[in-house]
Amino acid sequence: MRAKYHLKNYRISLVIFLVLLSSIGILLVGSANESYQKMQIIGVTAGLICMVAVSLIPYHFILIFYRVLYVINLLFLILVRFWGEDSKGATRWLKIGGFQFQPSELCKIILILFFAQYIMEHEEDFNSPKTIVKSLLFFAIPTYLVYKQPDLSTTIIICLIFATILFVGGLSYKIIAGVLGVMIPAIGVFLWFVVNKGNSILEEYQYDRIMAWLNPQAYLDTTFYQQNNSMIAIGSGMLTGKGLNNNVIGSVKNGNFISEPQTDFIFSIAGEELGFIGCFVMIALMAAIVVSCLLLARQAQDLAGKIICVGVCSIVGYQSFVNICVTVGLMPNTGLPLPFVSYGLSSMISLFLGMGVVLNVGLQRRRFH
């Protein structure tokens, strides 16, 4: 399928934001653990190449295979379920030869593509009970497989993405109000049940993380230890930080008070070494990426393009918000990476693939007269 593109429609500013943010990520990963920097550079480079390549493929052509993509996604998740690699009590990775990747990261992108086409095909009857039930079923199967890895944090992010897609797809406000009316009290009941009835519905580590968030003083030497050190690190950076790769004796990073700082707690490294200014720049770049995607969604030529742009930017928005909240103690520890910054090739390449499709939506934007 051939398509005529105009370079002036290519959202270069979005590419620049992505390159700047991922470059900061490379520097922070190298400072946190130098042995991972080379792989981070490879991941960013491969991701950028994939993004540019995908951005030149008409997204309508990709969406032709939305059912095939959905089946492939399920196969990957099922393979993880039975033959995945175990690490720290979780089975989330597939190893093929010398390459290891996390299918749940790619799952987010595939579900966005699947529902973009599915909802557009059912645009006229989207609020019918039959279509809503089928949508929930298509969503529930892969989400359950991710949850059973176990990976509650990614499951929650997938749920938020799905809710956002339904809203953009035109879900009735009456249904939304009804769901919120049930969910908000349900969350309160859930937390009450966990606190007062003990750990009966969660994995032990999940229960401990929630309890440590609700009562940090009781878990300072155990579950809340890492989050507490993260807050100390961020606060110690003050305005300008201690500098990348510093040798300051009082550094939280240099004292190894945060385990695996190159992944989930990379923002604490940013706070300590780049200070408030560095953190502000990172958050501004994340916000710029989200806003750029939303602007492209407004210009999309159809509903599918709009859902793709909003869906992909929701990954960046939700994960960035949750990750940063965890590092400053505002949420329980989740284990989510910071998009385009944390070490992790599966997350990096999956996000760049998603951004590639977003850029193609921008190349085929609606014409205004």
Q: List, as one string, the DSSP characters of 112-168.
A: HHHHHHHHHHTSTTTTSHHHHHHHHHHHHHHHHHHHTTT-HHHHHHHHHHHHHHHHH
pLDDT band at 258 (very low <50, low <70, confident <90, very high): confident
Q: Which of 275, 146, 150, 132 is nearest to 209 (CA)?
A: 150
Report whether pLDDT(82) > 60: yes
CA distance 271 to 266: 9
Top-confidence range, 63-77, 83-97, 160-174: 63-77
For residue 63, what are the domain limits?
15-363
**Is residue 368 in some structural domain?**
no
| CA-only gyration radius of the chain, Å | 21
Report whether pLDDT(341) > 50: yes
Query: How many distinct structural domains can be found in the chain?
Result: 1
Q: Which residue has the higher pLDDT, 154 or 204?
A: 154
Q: Are strands 99-101 and 90-96 parallel, antiparallel or unpaired?
A: antiparallel
Report whether pLDDT(1) > 60: no
pLDDT digits (tens, 9 = 90+) for 133-151: 999 999 999 999 999 888 8
Buried b (16+ CB within 10 A) or exposed e, 173-208: eeeeeeeeeeeeeeeeeeeeebeeeeeeebeebbbb
Q: Which of 55, 79, 150 is nearest to 363 (CA)?
A: 55
Of 128-132, 170-174, 184-188, 311-315, where does mean pLDDT reach its minimum? 184-188
What pLDDT does residue 198 have?
Answer: 62
Output the pTM of the full model.
0.92
The helix/strand count (H/E) of the chain reads as 13, 3
**Is residue 351 in some structural domain?**
yes
Residue 89 has a CB neighbour count (10 Å cut-off) of 9
Q: Which residue has the higher pLDDT, 98 or 15?
A: 15
Report whether pLDDT(97) > 50: yes
**Is residue 369 in some structural domain?**
no
**Is residue 273 in some structural domain?**
yes
CA distance 359 to 11: 7
- Tell me 367's DSSP state: P
**Is residue 358 in some structural domain?**
yes
Place of tokens 């200070």: 275
**Is residue 45 in some structural domain?**
yes
Q: Of all helices (H) and strands (E), which one includes residue 91?
A: strand 90-96
Average pLDDT, rounded, for the chain: 89
Q: What is the mean pLDDT of residues 205-210?
A: 81
What pLDDT does residue 199 have?
Answer: 58
**Is residue 227 in some structural domain?**
yes
Report whether pLDDT(48) > 90: yes
**Is residue 163 in some structural domain?**
yes
Q: Which of 365, 362, 261 is nearest to 14 (CA)?
A: 362
Place of tokens 């990709």: 62
Q: What is the mean pLDDT of residues 294-300?
A: 94
